[in-house]
Structure 1
């Protein structure tokens, strides 16, 4: 069913290839898991043909319809199973891959990504996905390239973990006011940055926030009890100045330990 849909998608003018992503591509899915199909296009995309394929009851969002990074697609039901089409501009994916090879990345605002959309995700999706339809061979070629994690990107993401130290420092400014929201937001991002760095240090692609902590705590270089400590600190940061201060103090210690583990200091 999915393979047939993929081959019909590449008949749409502008579509170059289709990639299976998500838990099903990695063999980590459950029976109820969605099918995530990356629909890679270049240039003008024939939205009318895409909508005709989806059917009259399905809303198809064109490029830009869902935001700047996850920029469009559709949610379908096929035989009672959810199938997601996720548009990917291949020109932009290749530009991001070129940046990754030079150690450059962006973190953009995107609905559904509370810690932001980290641009290396584009390359990671190709590396971890399965090519379903690729008549011109472009996805297959790109998948071969991204199989090797770029050393400049690893270094940049590890260095970027210094942001966590800054975030813990500014979190302390919300303590005296008992500002739980501010403290929690600072610490959430601080730990998210550390997770990205742990993935990078181990040359693993981090695609989004979901499930990332559970993987990061198992990686070499993660301090003892990393996941447990993050869950406890974020699970109940506190409501008073005293309890928030204790949380920030513990968070600072965890950030320092993780930075030392990442840099060998």
Structure 2
């Protein structure tokens, strides 16, 4: 692990030599110490202006030994800017572009309780904009010549109370989604029911994490993480998973009870 981390730090230092790249951070499960031996190494490439994707591709090729195509800003969608998936020295490494100006703008919104939920490939329940701030708060800065990302990481260590209130209040949508599922289940519309219940539980996990001033970055592991929070409803994750498997009228009724139980605990 230490040797691999040293290798990532060396890679990060070389990345900050590319025009536009201001800092590189280790993110994901590796940064939080929750990884498996085969987990990817997620490197956030924080840039300003227009990063030199040709130079990034050339640098990537030195690690992979073959040609690499790097997706520029917008190449992967509106929120996950772009990047590339690599295999270097047997390790899977993801370079993920992050517009530092936009991250700072989102952080300013978070401090006053504003957020967005945008459509983004790879995020079936939408990309919740506070994830930008959460990524910085939970990252491990590997290279930051100007100190910009390090300073932002210090700021995001304190969860903004206005954001907490706004995301807790967002739990109303879980009720709305379950009510919509109740209408569709009578017609056997499995797709709509599954989407409504998934949305309801996804919103609840955001509200629950915010209530405890804990950053939630995406849907992966969200049910399990929410279940571990203090004062989570008993068997929260198991109850939600059971409803998602069944998708029948009983499941929708169970989901409604779980939403009610959760909202009562959220106050």
Fold match (TM-score > 0.5): yes
Residue correspondence of structure 1 range 1-265 to structure 2 within 5 A: 1-55=7-61, 56-237=66-247, 244-263=248-267
Distance in 1 (alpha carbons) for counterparts of 2:145 and 2:32:
23
Runs of 5+ consecutive residues of structure 2 not aligned to the other structure: 1-6
Native 8 Å contact 2:171 2:263 kept in 1: yes
Q: How many residues align?
A: 257
Compare 144-153 and 247-256 and name the one that shifted more: 247-256
Compare 196-205 and 166-175 and name the one that shifted more: 166-175
Distance in 2 (alpha carbons) for counterparts of 1:31 and 1:246:
40
Q: Secondary structure at the match of 1:186?
A: helix
Q: Show the counterpart of 2:3.
A: none
Task: Give the superposition deviation at 1:52.
Answer: 1.1
Q: Show the counterpart of 1:240.
A: none
Q: Show the counterpart of 1:241.
A: none
Native 8 Å contact 2:26 2:42 kept in 1: yes
Task: Give the superposition deviation at 1:221.
Answer: 2.7
Compare 42-51 and 154-163 and name the one that shifted more: 42-51
Moved over 2 A (4+): none
Native 8 Å contact 1:198 1:221 kept in 2: no
Task: Give the superposition deviation at 1:57.
Answer: 1.9
Native 8 Å contact 2:242 2:251 kept in 1: no
Distance in 1 (alpha carbons) for counterparts of 2:137 and 2:115:
17
- TM-score, reference length from structure 1: 0.95
- TM-score, reference length from structure 2: 0.95
Distance in 2 (alpha carbons) for counterparts of 1:89 and 1:31:
30
Distance in 2 (alpha carbons) for counterparts of 1:45 and 1:215:
35
